[in-house]
Amino acid sequence: MSSTIPPSGSGELVSLELRNIVQEYPMPAGESAGSKSDRIRVVDDVSVKFDRPGIVMLLGPSGCGKSTLLRMMGGVRPMGVKTPTSGEVFIDGVLSTEAHDDVVMVFQRYANRPDLSARDNIAFPFRLKLWRRKVSREDAKARVDAMIESVGLGAHADLRPAQLSGGQNQRVALARALVLRPRILLMDEPFGALDAQTREEMQRLLSDLYRSQPCLIVFVTHDVTEALVLGDRVIVLSGQPARIADDFEISEPRPRSSAWQRSSETQALEERILATLHGAGGSRGQVRVTV
Amino acid sequence: MTIVWNPYEPITPRARRTLGAASVLVVLVAWAIVSALSLVAKAKLPSPVDVLSAFLRLAWDAQQGESLLFTATIWSVARVAAAGLLVVVIGVPLGVLMGASPRINAALSPLVDPFRSAPIVAVLPILVMWLGIGEGMKVTFLFLGAVVYLVPMVRDALQAVPSTYWIGAHDLGATPWEAVRHAVLPIAMPRIADAIIVAISVMWTYITVAEYVNAQEGLGQLIQNARRFSAMDQVFVGIFVIIALALVTYGTMTAMKKRLFPWELT
Ligand SMILES: Nc1ncnc2c1ncn2[C@@H]1O[C@H](COP(=O)(O)OP(=O)(O)O)[C@@H](O)[C@H]1O
Ligand SMILES: [Mg+2]
């Protein structure tokens, strides 16, 4: 490693900015009858800047436009809809309109290849020209081996997705993203489909992984507790159309003890978030509070 | 109360075989009785024993020192194999292109989809006019009969793969072709294999039609010839052999599919 050029994933140089983002979608068939517009505004003038490594939680009721925003940051465009309707995304100060090499996404549906072992799924990106060019074969193998251990899949590396639990599959998906040492990791409700205990394990794993490989993580959730347990910064989005309703930092180091979670300071934050969501007319969607 | 009807009831392989064998046996016995009582003229319905002895005669003709059945089978198998190879080599890539590109699909599906319900047998005289009565015509006929099933099924196999795989690969920097090649195609493979199995099976139902024209060799010719001489027992032999070949082909290909794609979708 050179000391002058920060290696990828060291998280020293990173900037992601949304400027005046507006997103409108065509109204679903049937619902436009009687209304004056056939378009529905999902995101309304969102501007925000992330300029250092850390875990940013994007919290909002389901259906409020979180995935829409996250996909925009990742340069993943839905077919047939102009995204964003207006506004710009900048990565490292450069206008971004396409999938970016330094930005990797992890979805709730983990999209592991059913025919490949956990190991081969984690090594999947190295089948692509882009990553074969950037990472040598030996380096790729070393990264995959190390990552299998980091996510605790050592004993399961040769099993296929159908033979793994939901949590283990999500470990595979997380590992596949992190072997690329992205400077920006975008996570869309990655633990949303897991049971409470597995979700907590995965939250712990993510904060461990973050400590050994810091980067900018933008993490979408509709779970208030998850936001408070993981976030260095929490951005609260109002219900449709999504606007930034609150934005605050949490300085408590991770892992955050259950004592901290029960502290009056944390309770106050939770109250504040719920009040913001309800005050912003957020009753259209639901947020979850797990204990 | 006991449940008498349960669609999800597991059945042991032994019970399945016994039930299957029993119903085949019932039909055989009924057949034997009908022909023993001469309820139907012998020229129309030979007895099981007649068919068996015809089978033995065809399997080995001691006077001529040859096996008509074996020769005919080889010819038919070779034609199905040649047409099968063509169907896979041409049909699978075509289906993949259509499944991977809505534009190519829009352009080609009017040329492919209607032929699934086209009277392919009625096309035969046209093929004879264009291609003559030789092997080219026979293999082309089998190819056309099967490829119209294969291509849409392969296309549907690709379209059935959830878009999350494509999006995920695209996000990791895959080119569109890489996303298809590494994220969509592998997941579609079991259904593509099913499509190939169906297409090859369809060929066994068309083989006799192909071989009726200019009947010189093959199981179709054997049946045609036997019919001309009113040898119903030999007609039955030909039909049973084709059914047996179709079953063996199906069983072999299904076993291969299970070995090649032992995984399941999550
Ligand atoms: N491609 C699309 N076309 C039309 N409407 C969409 C599309 N994607 C999302 N929407 C709508 O936009 C709203 C926000 O969706 P989404 O960003 O997925 O919300 P969240 O992730 O917060 O649950 C929803 O009402 C959804 O139905
Ligand atoms: Mg979402």
Q: Determine the pLDDT at residue A78.
A: 73
Q: Are residues A76 and A190 in the same domain?
A: yes
Whose Cα sits closest to atom 5 in ligand 1?
A25
The span from the CA of B15 to the CA of A176, in Å, is 46
Region of poorest pLDDT, from A74-83, A99-108, B87-96, B201-210:
A74-83
Give a yes or no: residue A268 inside a domain: yes
What is the tens place of the pLDDT at every residue in B99-113?
A: 999 999 999 999 988
| Residues A118, A173 within the same domain | yes
Residues A63, A160 within the same domain: no
pLDDT at A181: 94
Q: How far is B12 from chain A (nearest CA, A)?
A: 25
CA distance A72 to A89: 7
> What does R_g of chain B's alpha carbons equal in angstroms?
23
Using a 10 angstrom Cβ sphere, with 0-12 exposed, 13-18 middle and 19 or more buried, the burial of residue A101 is middle
Average pLDDT over chain A reads 88
Q: Are A237 and A139 in a shared domain? A: no
How far is residue B87's CA from residue B15's CA, in Å, rounded to a whole number?
A: 37
Asked whether residue A56 is assigned to any structural domain, the reply reads yes
What's the pLDDT band for B2 if we cut at 50, 70, 90? low
Mutating to test ligand 1, I would choose from A42, A70, A220, A284 the residue with most ligand atoms within 8 A of its C-beta, which is: A42
The SS3 of residue A235 is: strand
Q: Count of CB contacts below 8 A, A vs B?
A: 69
Among A98-102, B44-48, B86-90, name the most confident range: B86-90
| Confidence at A284, pLDDT banded by 50, 70, 90 | very low
User: Does the CB of B101 have a partner CB in chain A at under 8 Å?
Assistant: no
Last residue of a domain, one of A155, A181, A207: A181
Same domain, A235 and A134: no
- Predicted confidence (pLDDT) at residue B89 exceeds the cutoff of 70: yes
User: In this model, does residue A3 exceed pLDDT 80?
Assistant: no
Confirm whether A108 is domain-assigned: no
Pair A92, A148 in one domain: no
What are the Cα distances from residue B70, in Å, to A70, B75, B222? 66, 9, 11
Q: What are phi and psi of B256, to 5 degrees?
A: -60, -40
> How sure is the predictor about A266, in pLDDT bands with cuts at 50, 70 and 90?
very high
Question: Is A168 among the domain residues?
Answer: yes
pLDDT at A31: 61
Q: How many domains does chain A have?
A: 2
- Residue B44's pLDDT is 87
Q: Is the pTM of this model over 0.90?
A: no
Interface residue of A103, A104, A115, A134 to substitute, partner B, most B CBs within 10 Å:
A115
Report CA(A247)–ligand 2 centroid distance (Å): 20
- Name the β-bridge partners of A48: A18
Over 70: is that where the pLDDT of A285 sits? no
Residues A165 and A193 in one domain: no
Please name the residues between 124 and 143 in chain A that touch chain B, using a CB distance below 8 Å.
124-125, 127-131
Residue pair A232/A250 in contact by the 8 Å Cβ criterion: yes
What is the pLDDT, as a whole number, of residue B103? Answer: 95
For ligand 1, say whether the CB of A64 is within 6 Å of any of its atoms.
yes
Whether A14 maps to a domain, the answer reads yes
The yes-or-no verdict on residue A281 having pLDDT over 80 is no
How high is the pLDDT of residue B215? Answer: 75
Q: Is residue A107 part of a domain?
A: no
Mutation site for B-interface testing, chosen from A128, A163, A174, A189 by largest number of B Cβ within 10 Å:
A128
Q: For residue A64, which of A232, A235, A197 has the smallest C-alpha distance?
A: A235
Q: How does pLDDT run across A27-48, given as a tens digit for each residue?
A: 877 665 555 678 889 999 999 9
- Report yes or no on A2 lying in a domain: no
For residues A199 and A269, membership in a common domain is answered with yes
User: Which of A199-213, A243-257, A267-281, B230-244 has the lowest average pLDDT?
Assistant: A267-281
Whether B127 has a pLDDT exceeding 90, the answer reads yes
pLDDT digits (tens, 9 = 90+) for A138-167: 999 999 999 999 999 999 999 999 999 999
Q: Does B263 touch chain A (CB under 8 A)?
A: yes
Q: What percent of chain B has pLDDT over 70?
A: 98
Q: How confident is the model at residue A100 (pLDDT cuts 50, 70, 90)?
A: confident
Amino acid at A85: T
pLDDT in tens, A171-181: 999 999 999 99
Is B65 in the A-facing interface, judged by CB distances under 8 Å? no
A1 pLDDT higher than 60: no
Q: Average of pLDDT values for B33-45?
A: 89
Give the pLDDT of residue A11.
Answer: 46
Residue B83, pLDDT > 50, answer yes
Q: Which of A122, A149, A181 is the last residue of a domain?
A: A181
pLDDT at A12 over 80: no
Q: Which two tokens stand for residue B198?
A: 């169906």
Looking at residue A191, which CATH number applies to its domain? 3.40.50.300
A130 and A240, same structural domain?
no
A255: how many CB neighbours lie within 10 A of its CB?
14
pLDDT at B39: 87
Q: Do A157 and A200 lie in a common domain?
A: no
**A210 and A175 housed in the same domain:** no
Domain's final residue, options A181, A209, A233: A181
A33 falls within a domain:
no
Give residue-wise pLDDT tens across range B142-154.
999 999 999 999 9
Å between B186 CA and nearest CA of chain A: 8
Same domain, yes or no: A283 and A143: no
Q: Is the model's pLDDT at B3 over the cut of 70?
A: no
Query: Which residues form the domain of A194?
Result: 7-27+38-102+183-291
pLDDT of the residue at A290: 63
Closest to A55 in 3D by CA, of A227, A268, A190: A227
The whole-number pLDDT of residue A6 equals: 40
ipTM of model: 0.84
Residues of A in contact with B162 (CB under 8 A): 109, 111
